[in-house]
A and B are shown apart, each in its own frame.
Chain A
Amino acid sequence: MSLHEILTLPFMQRALIAAVFIGLAAPAVGTYLVQRRLALMGDGIGHVAVTGVALGLLTGTSPTWTAVVVAVLGAVAIEVIRERGITNGDVALALLFYGGLAGGVLVAGLAGSGAATLQSYLFGSITTIDVTDVVVTMVLAAIVVLTCVGLAPQLFAVAQDQDFARVAGLRVRAYNILIAVLAAVSVTVAMRTVGLLLVSALMVVPVATAQQLTRSFRTTLTAAMALGVTASLGGLLVAAFAPPGADVMPGPTIVLLALAGFVVTWPIGAWLRRRQRLTAPFPADAGVPPLDHVDTEAHPHDHGPDCGHVAVRHGDHVDYVHGAHRHAAHGEHYDEH
């Protein structure tokens, strides 16, 4: 099948639209979760949402909406447990996670729906979504993205320094709950694409990849969203172009693609950080008299752009890092700096 043929299939078009919106929304919320060191919160919400899906199957209502309601309740509960700083809060969270998952599987069994139905929510089935699903996905994801980007200064400050944000007059608790609710909404939106058990990966992995290369919050947020879209579109297309007979599921493909991005970026980031550390200018203070003039010992080697020694700016000249020494040219010889 050619690319053109694939892109004209209606179910594929729906899937592509959903992938774009989810690819943007999940990492947008994920950035705030990672900033708060709550990278696993998406996972927890995903587990709780399983019960929501099962309740939908049992009662015959749309599993998407019951999942949204249960996920929001679960997210707020997690936030309250976290805020109270209840001792062993992580144990309380674990109880919630496993309770949600076990309850969901049990209730789904009672509902008489087979393992396959539940599996499409656990691991995603983006190619089976209908028009209503796409519209709901677009609306909810757009709300998530607009809030995450529009309220970025406030949400950033609240997560960065809670006390300072409170003294600046921000309603810290309201913003904390808002993040929890946004996380719950994007988990349920993404459940159709990558599935409840993998959604956290799409929220967290693009952020982890982005921050290998970034120095500010804004660029991390933007880069994570770009990486999220790339991974979800790419994963979908890879799955679509899989040779006939090979059953490549889009959900896991998207997550593996995002992880591949991290694996490729990590060494680059490590190398860049090392490079930056080595070449950051040495502090030069005009007000402080220079140290005593010390010549290097006999120096057979000429430092220059290609001499292999790291050149570091130092005030108005360049020091060459030569072993544990810093050599600066001075007339015919080198000084120790």
Chain B
Amino acid sequence: MTDPVHLHDGAVAIDGRPILRGIDLTVRTGDFLALMGANGSGKSTLVRALTGLLPLTTGTLELFGTPITDFDQWSRLGYVPQRAGAGSGVPASVWEIVAAGRLGRRRLFRPLSKADRAAIADALDVVGLAHRSRDSIARLSGGQQQRVLIARALAGEPEMLLLDEPTAGVDLVNQQALAATLAELGSRGSTIVLVAHELGPLAPLVSRAVLMRDGRIVRDGTPLADHGLPPAHHHHHEHADHPHDHGHAVRLSSPIEGGVG
């Protein structure tokens, strides 16, 4: 089977300033990959590059075996951005936002099919917002709005989900509900790429942890035994199998922007 993501020697620059350099990343079908690292280390930039939102300055990216420039099977991809765009000038209901998740599967000028409606209702159920579906999104709390964005991605029934800090601001009960859903999707063979600072209830699901620092991948392997977390700033671990890990822990606590490389 072709890998959902195959990125070779990728680099990304924003406004001419190199942000990501020398990224090699292959995500295999069924991976549950956690992308970790300090603020500003390039996690969101990497996810945006994987979705084609940011062009590569060098390197090659293939999604499901197709070079990104030729890729058109967008319904296989689901994306939860890090934060909702600035509110729009016209009210939009929760249901309408989630319904937008079906767009990758709809043809122009066609009404929603039964399958579309069922998928939208399911996605709303999963995030526990079915009873708010007719409310304007602007009247929801920040965590509830985040759950709407998760539902929007789930509604598309994608094969690979890219979630950029989906649980930021979401309470524990709903994090557990999301973990249950992702576990279910994982068991059906979906691929999941997740950016998170605190894995919380998602920790047991993670099969692979990728650690970023200053625009590079510095560690890629199985999640560490304790909490499933890579070294946090207050821990000092020795990892025989990842000698280059040693000592990153302290520097991770402060965002490292520019200066290096």
Q: A167 on the interface (CB 8 Å rule)?
A: yes
Contact status of A168 and B156, CB under 8 A, knowing A159-B88, A217-B93, A287-B173: yes
A31 to B92, CA, bound (A): 12
Please determine whether B134 and A215 come into contact, CB atoms closer than 8 angstroms. yes
**Contact at B89–A37, with CB atoms within 8 Å?**
yes
A211 engages B75 (CB within 8 Å):
no
Question: Which B residues are CB-close (under 8 A) to A216?
Answer: 91-93, 95-96, 134, 136
A165 to B74, CA, bound (A): 10
Q: In the complex, are the beta carbons of B85 and A160 less than 8 A apart?
A: yes
CB-based contact A168/B104 at 8 Å? yes
**Does B227 count as interface, using CB distance less than 8 angstroms?**
no
**Chain A: how many interface residues by the 8 Å CB criterion?**
33
A165 to B97, CA, bound (A): 11
Whether A151 is near chain B, meaning CB under 8 Å from some CB there, is: yes
Greatest chain A CB density within 10 A among B72, B84, B103, B104 is at B103
Contacts of A207 in B (CB 8 A): 90
Residues of A contacting B90 with CB < 8 Å?
31, 34-35, 207, 211, 217, 220
B95 touches A161 (CB 8 A): no
- Min Cβ gap A221→B in Å is 8
Interface pair A39/B89, CB less than 8 Å apart: yes
Per-residue CB contact flags for chain A residues 157-198 toward chain B (1 = under 8 Å, else 0) read 101111111111110000000000000000000000000000
Contact B109 A150 (CB under 8 A): yes
Most buried by B among A37, A157, A166: A157
List the B side residues contacting A217 at CB < 8 Å.
90-93, 96
Given the interface contacts A36-B89, A161-B81, A162-B85, does A168 sit within 8 Å of B74 by beta carbon?
Answer: yes
Residues of B43-65 whose CB lies within 8 A of A: 48, 51-53
Residues 17-61 (chain A) with a chain B CB within 8 angstroms: 31, 34-37, 39
Q: Is B224 an interface residue (CB 8 A)?
A: no
- Tell me, in angstroms, the Cα distance from A157 to B100 when the chains sit together: 6
Pairwise interchain contact A169-B136, C-beta atoms closer than 8 A: no
Residues of A contacting B72 in the complex (Cβ-Cβ under 8 angstroms): 169
CA distance A228 to B136 in the complex (A): 23
- The number of residue pairs between A and B whose CB atoms lie closer than 8 Å in the complex comes to 96
**What residue of chain A has the Cβ atom nearest to residue B97's Cβ?**
A160
B38 within 8 A of A: no
Size of the B side of the interface (Cβ < 8 Å), in residues, is: 35
B259 to chain A minimum Cβ distance, whole angstroms, is: 27
A154 engages B96 (CB within 8 Å): no
Any chain B CB within 8 A of the CB of A325? no
For the complex, is B77 an interface residue (Cβ under 8 Å from A)? Answer: yes
Question: Which of B99, B109, B156, B173 has the most chain A CB within a 10 Å cutoff?
Answer: B109
Within 8 A of B (CB), among A117-148: none
Instruction: Write out the residue numbers on chain A whose beta carbons fall within 8 Å of the beta carbon of B245.
Output: none
Chain A positions within 8 Å of B77 at CB level: 167
Report the minimal beta-carbon distance from B134 to chain A, rounded to whole angstroms.
7
Q: Is there an interface contact between A153 and B103, defined as CB atoms closer than 8 Å?
A: yes
Question: Would you call A334 an interface residue if the criterion is a C-beta within 8 Å of the partner chain's C-beta atoms?
Answer: no
Given A36-B89, A156-B92, A166-B53, are A151 and B109 neighbors across the interface (CB < 8 Å)? yes
Given contacts A164-B100, A168-B104, 15 further A-B contacts (CB under 8 A): A34-B90, A150-B109, A151-B108, A154-B103, A156-B92, A160-B85, A160-B92, A161-B81, A163-B51, A166-B52, A167-B53, A168-B101, A211-B91, A215-B91, A215-B134
List, sorted by A's number, 24 A–B pairs whose CB atoms are closer than 8 Å: A34-B90, A150-B109, A154-B108, A156-B96, A156-B100, A160-B100, A163-B85, A164-B81, A164-B152, A165-B100, A167-B79, A168-B74, A169-B75, A211-B91, A214-B91, A215-B93, A215-B135, A216-B93, A216-B96, A216-B136, A217-B90, A217-B92, A217-B93, A217-B96
